[in-house]
Structure 1
Amino acid sequence: MEEFEINLIEKSKQGDVESFEMLIKSYQTLAYNIAFRMLGNVEDASDATQEALVKVFKSIHSFQGQSSFSTWLYRIVTNTCLDELRKRKRQKVYSYHNPVEMEDGEIDRDVVDPNSSTEEIFEKKEEIKSIQDAIQALPEQHKTVIILRDIKGLSYEQISEILDCPQGTIKSRISRARLALKDIITNRELYQKPHV
């Protein structure tokens, strides 16, 4: 960790709200995007991100620096989302929205080539939606590792720390999750093909 970040953490531990806001500014977009991918809609993602950041502020005194601050924060975000998913396990509702732009201007979205034809853009959006829907259909454990590894690009080490699991378990879980995702997409494509 950089000295500047360490100073902000120490001030945040003393209850300095301004230092805390500076500390989390660079992490808010990724925190929100993890929540969006896990929960599937803008409103729930915003609520979960806010709830997680409140938890981070309230428990920052317990941060010992054994992992990076970002990993610790993303662990709280992920656990907050998992709690929400468990609450609504019996009511699987998924709505597809584009993530909203965050304060620092970053947006997490798939970029469509501006030179693409209307048909190509439509097909790309349909493909993205199909993958999003398939991810939402995955069991909780599989969904989490796919989002953290394949969508957010976190390292096995970071995911291991976030989920408090050995790296070997994370790797095998990711492998199973990818196979499950492939099966869901393949089955949906077969189901949607017109029967001759």
Structure 2
Amino acid sequence: MNYVETRLAELSRNGDRKAFAELVDLYKDRIYHLAYRMLSQAHAAEDIVQETFLRVYKNLHRYDEKQKFSTWIYRIATNLCIDQLRKRKANYSLDAEMPDGEGADWYSMLPSDDVSPEGQILLSETQQQIRSAIDMLPEKYKSVVILRYLHDLSLQEIGEVLDMPVTTVKTRVHRGREYLRKRLSPEFGD
């Protein structure tokens, strides 16, 4: 448990604006990356960040200090993303643009012994294929896969964020992985 975050939340609840600004600084980038991964659109991710902190501020009185602050804020952000995905399901773009130099994530760290320009192109294509496959994941698998592999949350933490039993999280992680494996196997010659 991070006592600093709990203390900042407590101070924020009592009207300390500097404490709330520190919470925002601690989490704005993490929430943005979570939202960007789930929604694949920069402006939508920015909106989620703003809405998340607005909800955090309005609901600080509901935060239970016995739970991790990170779990609570991830739950808020993830639910907002899921709501957004449901709203735009009909016009959801699988060709969303991915900016260069976006930061390290699990598929940008795929091992490669080949550092030639051709190798870099292949690695880049592989990353794009994985991103596209994640974008195509059914909603119920997408959130658990992103939280597990891109945000490195434990199964227990994902269960707390999504308010579901760990056994359900395990099943969805497994099925999400299988879905990705099947989606990617034609590209990788399986």
TM-score by length of 1: 0.85
Q: Which residue of 2 aligns with 1:145?
A: 144
**Residue range with higher mean Cα deviation, 30-39 or 115-124:** 115-124
| C-alpha contact (below 8 Å) 1:42/1:100 kept by paired residues | no
* Residues 1:67 and 2:67 aligned together: yes
Deviation at 1:70, TM superposition (A): 0.5
Structure 1 residues 100, 123: CA separation in 2 closer, same or farther (over 3 Å shift)? closer
Once the two structures are superposed, residues 78-115 of structure 1 have per-residue CA deviations (whole angstroms, 9 ceiling, x without a partner) of 001001000001112141223777xxxxx4442588x8
Task: Give the counterpart letter for 1:128 in structure 2.
Answer: Q
Tell me the equivalent position of 2:98: 97
Residue 39 of structure 2 corresponds to residue 33 of structure 1: no
Question: What secondary structure sits across from 2:145 in the alignment?
Answer: helix
What is aligned with 1:134? 133
- Further displaced range: 155-164 or 87-96: 87-96
Please, which runs of 5 or more residues in structure 1 have no aligned partner? 102-106
Partner of 2:42: 42
1:10 paired residue number: 10
Unmatched segments (≥5 aa) in structure 2: none
DSSP 3-state at the match of 1:81: helix
Distance 1:48 1:99, change over 3 A: farther
Asked if structure 1 preserves the Cα contact closer than 8 Å seen for 2:8 and 2:23, the reply is: yes
Q: Once the 2 structures are TM-superposed, how far is the Cα of residue 3 of structure 1 from its aligned partner?
A: 3.9
Change (3 A) 1:7 1:84: same
Identical columns (%): 36
Q: Deviation string for 1:23-61 (max 9, x for gaps)?
A: 232222221111111001212111111111111111111
Question: Who is 1:104 aligned against?
Answer: none
Runs of 4+ in 1 over 4 A off after TM superposition: none
RMSD value, Cα: 2.3
State whether residues 134 and 185 of structure 1, in contact with CA within 8 Å, keep that contact through their aligned partners in structure 2: yes
The 3 A distance-change label for structure 1 pair 10 and 163 is same
Letter in 1 for 2:99: N
CA contact (8 A) 1:35 1:48 kept: yes
Give the match for residue 123 of structure 1.
Answer: 122
Report the CA distance shift for 1:75/1:185 in structure 2 as closer, same or farther (over 3 A): same
Kept after mapping to 1: 8 A contact 2:6/2:69: no
How far apart, in 2, do the equivalents of 1:132 and 1:108 lie? Answer: 13
Deviation at 1:2, TM superposition (A): 4.2
Per the alignment, do residues 2 and 164 of structure 1 end up closer, same or farther by CA in structure 2, a change over 3 Å counting? Answer: closer
How many aligned residue pairs are there? 185
CA contact (8 A) 2:2 2:68 kept: no
Who is 1:156 aligned against? 155
Aligned to 1:180: 179
Q: TM-score, normalised by structure 2?
A: 0.88
Displacement of 1:7: 2.5
